[in-house]
Amino acid sequence: MKLVFLGPPGSGKGTYASRLSPLLSIPHISTGDIFRDNMARKTPLGKKVEKYLKRGGLVPDDIVIEVVKERISQKDCRNGFIFDGFPRTAEQAIALDRITKLDMVLNLNLSEDIIIKKMSARRVCGKCGQIYNIADIRLGKFRFPPILPKKEGACDKCGGKLMQRKDDTIGVIKDRLEVYKKQTKPLIDYYKKKSILRDVNVIGPPEVMVPIILKTIGKQ
């Protein structure tokens, strides 16, 4: 199954995709993770994208599309994939349509106030990219308890050190939300016209949302 998780930064795309990937036996592909890995290894690609990611902007379409094309040509994508963070612009969506045919696009909806609280509390393993969160958010019907590692500051999966990304600080988060509104929201209309968009209201943690998402894509 070929899926795209669409939604503003902090809506849970990476968290839910990482949980669903093993259940569906398809890879979770994050262009952001690919770029950060290349930055850490100081590859030519990493040096190209570093200036864009550090200020919370978008990497130029031609670079992103080339990376995506190479990634989905690999063997583990034969039965599908879950894209998290791609496409982000109409141009990227059109380019992706030329490369492959999507089965469904899930649009994750969450208010900006909660997004800012969640993102500024996010912690990520610097080694494997596993995501945790130290916030305990309880607002009306919304329940987002913390997603904590068993050992404070260390990843459960690989023991790597947990860190706060530079793009998870409040100032950068607000800038990223503005970029999303201007450049990515038009994708909602694009995929609605193709009749493959499904809206998903984010109301809780992974144990609440994963069954909802599985039902939405017809896998439960």
Q: How far is CA 24 from CA 19, 92, 130, in A?
A: 9, 25, 18
Of 2, 36, 117, 122, which one is the catalytic site residue?
122
CA angle 59, 63, 64 (to 5 degrees): 70
Is 88 catalytic? The answer is yes
CA 133/CA 2 separation, integer angstroms: 28
Of 71, 165, 174, 198, which one is the catalytic site residue?
165
Residue 184 backbone dihedrals phi, psi, to 5 degrees: -105, -30
Of 19, 117, 123, 176, which one is the catalytic site residue?
176
Q: How far is CA 196 from CA 21, 104, 192, 219, in A?
A: 20, 5, 6, 16
Is 176 catalytic? The answer is yes
DSSP secondary structure letter of residue 75 = G
Is 55 catalytic? The answer is no
Of 2, 13, 36, 117, which one is the catalytic site residue?
13
Is 122 catalytic? The answer is yes
As given in the structure block, the two tokens for residue 58 are: 């978008």
Cis peptide before 60 (omega within 30 of 0): no
CA 47/CA 61 separation, integer angstroms: 16
Of 36, 88, 117, 123, which one is the catalytic site residue?
88
Task: Enumerate the active-site residues.
Answer: 13, 88, 122, 165, 176
